[in-house]
């Protein structure tokens, strides 16, 4: 069951950005290798606060995000999917603060399975 994300959390006197609870965002560099690129970004609670990603191929690439502290396996439940259209850049910063309660992990795949080295390049911003 995928969950919906609210970019703000209720506070006693209004709505507060979640990243203020975690401090300044960190950067995680992505440069795809051959395969699924199963990666743990942070093994405790985390908030994804942005990304700048480039798909260098002529077909869709997908980042599958997982709310877990261990390296994702093929049968793990995908929390949400970021689609990178062919030969395009995707940018998002500080607007969609997406919480991960157990940890932040991802895989990268294409329309027909694993990706090749250099298909996806960029950075994730997280706290």
pLDDT tens for 57-103 read: 999 999 999 999 999 998 999 999 999 999 999 988 766 688 999 99
- CA neighbor of 100 nearest in space, from 77, 123, 75, 120: 77
| Options 1.20.120, 2.60.120, 1.20.1630, 2.60.40; CATH of 22-126 | 2.60.120
- CA neighbor of 121 nearest in space, from 32, 26, 27: 32
**What is the enclosing helix (H) or strand (E) of 20?**
helix 19-22
**68: helix, coil or strand?**
coil
What pLDDT does residue 25 have? 85
pLDDT value at 11 more than 60:
no
**122: helix, coil or strand?**
strand
pLDDT value at 1 more than 60:
no
pLDDT value at 114 more than 90:
no
């Amino acid at each position: 069951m995928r969950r919906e994300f609210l970019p703000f959390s209720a506070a006693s006197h209004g709505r507060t950005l979640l990243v203020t609870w975690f401090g300044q965002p960190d950067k995680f560099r992505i440069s795809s290798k051959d395969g699924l690129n199963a990666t743990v970004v942070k093994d405790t609670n985390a908030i994804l606060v942005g990304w700048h990603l480039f798909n260098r191929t002529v077909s869709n690439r997908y980042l599958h995000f997982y709310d877990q502290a261990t390296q994702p396996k093929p049968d793990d439940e995908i929390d949400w999917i970021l689609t990178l259209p062919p030969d395009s850049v995707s940018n998002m910063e500080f607007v969609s603060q997406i919480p991960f309660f157990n940890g932040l992990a991802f895989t990268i795949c294409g329309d027909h399975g694993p990706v090749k080295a250099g298909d996806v390049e960029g950075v994730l911003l997280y706290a």
